[in-house]
Each structure stands twice: as C-alpha cells, then as structure tokens.
Structure 1
Amino acid sequence: MNKHHAIINSANQVFELEGQAILNLKSYINDNFVNAVNLIYNSKGRVIITGIGKSAIIGNKIVATLNSTGTPAIFMHAAEAIHGDLGLILKDDVVICISKSGNTPEIKVLIPLIQSSNNKIIAITGNESSFLGQHCDYFLNTFVEKEACPLNLAPTTSTTAQLVMGDALAVCLLELRGFSSGDFAKYHPGGALGKKLYLRVFDISNENNKPEVHPDTNIKEVIINISKNMLGVTAVVEDHKVVGIITDGDLRRMLTKTDNFISLKAKDIMGQMPKTINENAMAIKALEIMETNDISQLLVCKDDGTYAGVVHIHDLIKEGII
C-alpha cells in the first residue's frame, strides 16, 4: 500500500472506530442518565465540571456548550481544586467529574471533599469499578473498547465519548428548558449564528445613507445622488412611496442605448416594481431575497409602505451573516 492510500485508510479507521464507539454509548443510557439530567434541571445552583489532563480539555468544551444553551456552568481543574479552587463549589451546585480511568490521584482526593459538602456528583467515566465510579451519585458510562491511537495509549476515542456524553446532557437540558432560537441569540449576540437569529434589516439600513430621487429628477442629479451615497443604487420615491429603482447597471445600460441622455429623467430609466423588504424583517431574509434574485441591494420599507432606506449585500458580509 502506497503512502497516499495508507493515510486515507488510517483516517477511515479512526472514523469507523470512533463512530462505532459513539453508537455503543446508546446502550449505556439508562436511569442514571435520566436522573442526572433531572438533577441538573431541578438544581438551584450551577454545574461545576472538573477533570484533569485531556478530560479537563473536554470538560471546558462541555462547560461552553452548557453555558450557551441555558445551563450555567463553570470549569474547575481537579488539581487546582485541592489547592484552593474547591471554594468555587457552592451549596446548590452539581459537580460533574470527568475521568477515563476514574482512579487518578487528584480524583481520589477531590471526591471525598466534595461529598463532605453534600454536593451531588455525576461521574463521566468508562470504568464503573473505579474510585469515581463507586463514589458518585450518578454514573454515566463512557466505556470504549480501544483508543483510535494504534498504540491504544493516546486519549482519542475515550475523549470523543466523553464529549458526546456531555453534548447529550446539554441537548436534553436544552429541550427540557424549552430553549428557543431567540434564547440562543441572546446568549450569542456577537456571533454570526446569533446575528442570523436577531439582527433585523433596520439595524443595518439605519446605518446607511438613504438615497432617493423624484421621478422627475434629471439624470445628472440621479448620477450625483448614486455616487454621493455610495450604495450603487437610489430609490425613486413619490409621496414617500417607492415607485422605482435606479442602479449603477441601469446607468450603464442607458449609456449604451442613447447618446442624448441629458434630457432624460429618473422615470425614463428606472426599474419598476423593485424588490423591497420590510424594515422589521430578519437580516437573513434579506440575504435570501438577494441570492434568489441575484441582486446586491434591497430597498427597505416601513410597515405603512413608506421608503426607509437601503440594505446592501456588503452590509451582510460586514455583519458576518454570510
């Protein structure tokens, strides 16, 4: 087997091994898992996640997932906990302890200290007979047959199993809380995903100039208007309502059709029935309309149909919507 095929074969083996290990977790979902979810859901405190080594890295990711989906969580490194950070744990907090072996020295010291404060412990480990497995309130089994590492040493499959178990907890809690897309946006106001869920057209168009001309405006003034506002477009407005649109493209087409354009007015070259969008529509909807119609701008209107401005595809790119 040449080097190229060997690399592809190795990658596929990792996918198959870890994929099967994840599917095997289904057989370990039992009353312990259900009770652990209900414990967290009904808790008045936070979730404190602890671990060491690679499990600590997984713990940080699970903390981030829980926080972003409505379950307050904090990471506490197991080694640091026994040197002062144990004070992070408050009366009503639930502790999730992650460990492949369940027998690390730090875990053996930490568990009794947590129990002395009567905090409930959820174990995520693949070893039920371990110290952690035997001294927890709820045991979530993440046993794997072998690591994806050919030496069966580097944590690979086992950490994937831990991560997926954490995802399962987070999703179940999300559904119990009735966590909505609006809630998600509230927790992700600066991210692209959040913006797709909360950013509205007026949030963008209000930052732009508001180019507009009257149907009887002469071509020279139309060109000046488009150039001055730098949006590549101007709305043709009469009685505060949009009656047409003129784009850079319309001006170019005008120049190819006639040499005598000085006497032309906006109404002579405007496009009628332009695509518009309500200012209260989601910004992602503006993108959908632009993509469907292969255009770069949309005219924005208020609820009563009056002209409100322009949203440009560059605005959506700037906001990270695209």
Structure 2
Amino acid sequence: MSNTNKILEVARRTIRIEANAIKELEDCVDIAFAKAVQHIHTSNGRVIITGIGKSAIIAQKIVATMNSTGTPAIFMHAADAIHGDLGIVQKNDVVICISKSGNTPEIKVLVPLIKNFDNKLIAITSNKESFLGTEADFILHAPIAEEACPNNLAPTTSTTAQLVMGDALAISLLELKGFTDADFARYHPGGALGKKLYLRVKDLADQRPKPQVIPQTSMREVIVNISENMLGMTVVVEDQKILGIITDGDLRRMLTSGKDIDSLVASDIMTANPKTIPADAMAIQARELMEEKHISQLVTIDDQNHYAGVVHIHDVIREGII
C-alpha cells in the first residue's frame, strides 16, 4: 500500500471511530444531564472546570465556550488545585471534573476536598463505576468503545467525546438563559463574528468624508469634490434631501458623450434615486446590499431620510465583514 493510501485509510478510520462514539453519546444524554444543567442554571455561583492531562485541555475549551455563551466559568488544573489553587472554588460554585478513567491519583485527592466544601460535583467520565463516577452528584457519561490511536492509548476519541458533552452543556445553558445574538456580540466585540452582530453602518460612515454638491454645482466643481473626497462619487443634495448620486462612471460617460462640460451642472448627469441604507442598519446588511446590487458604495440616511454619509465596500472589508 502506498503512503498516500495508508494516510487516507488511517485518517478516515480515525474520523469513523470518533464519529461513531459521538453518535452514541446521544443516548447518554439522560435525566442526570438535565438535572446537571438545571442546577448550573439556578445556581448563584460560577462553573469551575477541572481535569488532568489532555482532559485539562478539554476543560479549558469548555470554559471558553461557556464564558462566550453567557455562563461564567473558570478553569482549575486538578494538580494545581491540590497545591493551593483550590481557593478558586467559592461558595455556590459548581465544579465539573473531567476524567476518562475517573481514577487518576489527582482526581482521587481532589474530589473529597470539593465534597468537603459542599460544592456540587458534576463528572464527565467514560467510567460510571470509577471513583469520580461514584462520588459525583451528577454523572455525564461519555463512554467510548476505543481510542482512535491504534494502540488504544492516546486520548483521542475520549477527549472528543468530552468536548462534545461540554458543548451540549454550554448550548443547553445558552437556551435556558435565552442568550441572543446581541448578547453574543457583547462578549465578542473584537472579532469579525462579533462585528457582524454589533457594527452599524453609521460606525463606518462616520469615519469617511461626506461628499455633497447641490444640483446647480458646475461640472468642474463636481470633479474637484469627487477628487478631494477620494470616494469615487459625490451626492447631490438639496435641503438635506438626496436627489441623486454622481460617480466616476457618470463623469466618464459625460466626457465621452461630447457634451460641453461648461454647460452642464450636477443635476444634468446625476443618477436619481440612488441606493440608500439607514445609518442604524447593521454593517453586514450594507455588505449584502452592495453585493446584491453590484455596487461599491451606499448612501446612508438618518431617521428623517436626510443625507447622513457614505459607506464604502472597502470599509466593510477592512472590518473583516466578508
């Protein structure tokens, strides 16, 4: 067998093993899972998630998911916990302990300490009969038939199952909290994903010049206005009302028409009724509209339909909204 075929076979087998394990997890979501979610939802504390080895890495990912979806969570390494970090756990906190075997030495030391604090303990484990499984208040069973590793040793399938169970917890809590896209945006203000949810057209337009001329403006002045503002266009405005738009394309067509430039004014070559968008609209809506109409800029309007500015496709792309 060639190296290419062997690689493909190993990769596909790995995916198949892990996919089968995840599919079987659905049957493990039971009353204990529901009670664990309800307890976290009604508690006045945070969620402390702990583990050792690869399970600790999974714990950190679940913490990140919970924090970004409205459930305050903190990671606590199981080994560090028994050497001072146990002070992280406060009254009313719920502790989630992740361990495939449920019998690692650190877990056996840590669990009784947590129980002495009277904090509720949730176990995510593949072994319900383990020390962790028998001591936990709630068991989230994540059994696996085998690791994807050919030696059945390297944590692969087990950590995937743990991660999926953690996602199921986080999303269940999200639903109970009624967590909305607006809430999500508040926790993700710096990323492109968050910007799609909170960035508005006016946030972009306010950074740009506001080119405008009146209907009687001469062609020479129109050209100067467009050149100075470097947007490839200007807006024809009268009494704050938008009458039309003049783009570089309109100027080129005028020049090739053979008409006398000195006899023309802005209203002679403008395109009436240009595409507009409310300044309070989301920036993602501006991108979608520009894409739909095959244009590179939109005129923005305020709540009285007055001219408010211009948003350019480059503004949207610069913010990562693509």
Q: TM-score range by the shorter chain?
A: over 0.9
Whether 1:118 aligns to 2:118 is yes
Q: Return the alpha-carbon distance in structure 2 between the equivalents of residues 259 and 2 of structure 1.
A: 72
Identity of aligned residues (%): 64
Separation in 2, partners of 1:199, 1:140: 39
Deviation of 1:295 after TM superposition, in Å, equals 0.7
Match of 2:211 in 1: 211
Distance in 2 of aligned mates of 1:43 and 1:70: 14
5+ residue gaps, structure 1, are none
Deviations, residues 83-122 of structure 1 (Å, cap 9, x unaligned)? 1000000010000001111111111110011111101100
Structure 1 position 71, deviation (Å): 0.5
Q: TM-score, normalised by structure 2?
A: 0.97
Q: State the 1:216 CA deviation.
A: 1.4
The equivalent residue for 2:266 is: 266
Is residue 108 of structure 2 the alignment partner of residue 108 of structure 1? Answer: yes
Task: Tell me the SS of whatever aligns to 1:250.
Answer: helix
Q: Tell me what 2:223 maps to.
A: 223
Mapped to 2, the partners of 1:16 and 1:266 lie a distance apart of: 66
Q: What does 1:1-322 correspond to in 2, within 5 Å?
A: 1-258=1-258, 260-322=260-322
Distance 1:25 1:46 in 2: 26
Amino acid in the other structure paired with 1:109: V
Paired with 2:191 and 2:33, the residues of 1 have a C-alpha distance of 32
Distance 1:120 1:235 in 2: 64
User: How far did residue 259 of structure 1 move?
Assistant: 6.5
- For each residue in 1:105-144, what CA deviation from the matched residue of structure 2 results, as whole angstroms up to 9, or x when unmatched? 1111100111111011000010111111111111111111
After superposition, give the CA deviation of every residue in 1:132-161 in whole Å (9 maximum; x if it has no partner): 111111111111111112222111111110
Unaligned residue ranges in structure 2 (runs of 5+): none
C-alpha distance in structure 2 between counterparts of 1:154 and 1:251, whole Å: 67
2-structure distance, mates of 1:94, 1:244: 61
CA deviations 1:272-313 (Å, max 9, x no partner) are 221000111111111110000011100001111110000011
> In the comparison of the two structures, how many residue pairs are matched?
322
SS at match of 2:237: strand
| Aligned-partner residue type, residue 194 of structure 1 | G
